[in-house]
Amino acid sequence: MTEKLSATLLADAVLLLHLAVVLFIVGGLVIVGVGNRLGWRWVNAWGFRVTHLVAIGVVVAESWLAISCPLTTLEALLRGTTGHAEGFIAYWVQRLLFYDAPPWLFIALYSGFGALVVAAWWRFPPRRPGR
């Protein structure tokens, strides 16, 4: 396996991990709301809820501090000078994840979503371990 192919595969793996994190953050809030309405106790598990809150907290902090996401930085580093994905799946995952918009818009969107996660924490409190 060539060095370029290895770097491309690693970059694709980082990109898919990034997608998984985004799906966890967005889907996590949906699952908390829907799950509580349907009586699913697991959606209020302490570990799940804390991990979800920390994940969106990191995203909000990165946006406010103008810090590039480490996963984005790592993927770009692995891809080299272009930073663009090669291959069908990687191309479309990048298109799904990355948008060209002013930083203030991302700050507002991430902060608003973070506020929704905090509101869900208050509306549907997590269960502490042992309860």
Q: For the chain, how big is the Rg over CA atoms in Å?
A: 17
3-state secondary structure 85-116: CCCHHHHHHHHHHCCCCCHHHHHHHHHHHHHH
Domain with 30 in it: 3-123
Give the count of domains, the chain.
1
Domain assignment of residue 57, yes or no = yes
Asked if 48 contacts 28 with a C-beta cutoff of 8 angstroms, the reply is yes
Which tens digits make up the pLDDT trace of 61-117?
999 999 999 999 999 898 886 556 677 778 888 888 888 899 999 999 999 999 999
Residue 88 lies in a domain: yes
The model carries a pTM of 0.86
9 in a domain, yes or no?
yes
Does residue 128 lie in a domain region?
no
- Residue range 48-55: average pLDDT? 98
